[in-house]
Amino acid sequence: LEAVRRDFLSNAAHELRTPVTSISGYAETLLGGSVDAETSHEFLSTIHRNAGRIAALVADLLVLDSLEGRAEVVGTRAPVALAEVVGDAARTARGVTPDARIDVDVADGLSVLATREGLDHIVQNLIDNAVKYGNNTQVTVSAERVAERVRLAVADRGPGIPDGQEDRIFERFYRLDAGRSRDRGGSGLGLAIVKSQIEAIGGRVWVEHAAPGARFVVELDAA
């Protein structure tokens, strides 16, 4: 446990160091003066982007912290209409990426036992990842009832997850392509948080190969 903790802290510190170094470097140059307007605009937008990365990382760390040892969330579940949550998340994703192609096929009557806030975060994250890492391919969100459970699937037609990495992508700070994922604003915490949130409401999550693409499946108790 101590080793896990040390590892986590060192990863978090490492993730923070890069944007902080970049911000202080560019700010120092700007303070030195003698930078033309165009260059200073460029430096300021880099500073702004890196501040955004730090804010996103801190938000992720706070969510992780609030999930730690919270198995009792299961006790506060209530029926949540899946179509509504998926519709909201798809609209948000289209707002960020207007050319995203997101197909939603979720029956109206389908509800799961969850917390609205938790489910919003889970579904948003998976759709955002499908858009981000699916390289602008078609994203399909579907759901079906399987006995007493509901399976929600978010699939894209991008590069998918390589063999052997299916479990690792749910680990904290794990990224398939660190450089590329960091460019897209990722901290590598997204799926770790999604997994904790799903387990906190009594569900499970896994990824399948979709020939081509990745299909993330979330299984929750039906309401």
**Footprint of ligand ADP (CB under 6 A):** 129-130, 133-134, 156, 158-161, 169, 174-177, 181, 186-192, 214
Instruction: Give the shortest CB-168-to-ligand ADP separation in angstroms.
Output: 9
**Cα angle value 115/117/121 (rounded, 5°):** 115
**Nearer to ligand ADP (CB atom), residue 106 or residue 130:** 130
Instruction: Give the shortest CB-5-to-ligand ADP separation in angstroms.
Output: 20
Q: Which residue is nearest to ligand ADP (CB)?
A: 186
**Nearer to ligand ADP (CB atom), residue 129 or residue 140:** 129
**Nearer to ligand ADP (CB atom), residue 26 or residue 133:** 133
Distance, CA of 80 to CA of 2 (rounded, Å): 38
Q: Is the Cβ–Cβ distance between 139 and 154 less than 8 Å? A: yes
Please tell me the total number of residues recorded for the chain in this structure: 223
Instruction: Give the shortest CB-70-to-ligand ADP separation in angstroms.
Output: 20
**Nearer to ligand ADP (CB atom), residue 85 or residue 210:** 210
**Nearer to ligand ADP (CB atom), residue 113 or residue 189:** 189
Instruction: Give the shortest CB-145-to-ligand ADP separation in angstroms.
Output: 24
- Convert 192-205 to b/e letters by CB count within 10 Å (16 or more is b): bbbbbbbbbbbbeb
DSSP E strand boundaries for the chain: 78-81, 102-105, 111-114, 139-146, 149-155, 204-209, 214-221
Instruction: Give the shortest CB-180-to-ligand ADP separation in angstroms.
Output: 7
Neighbouring C-alpha atoms within 13 Å toward the C-beta of 131 = 23
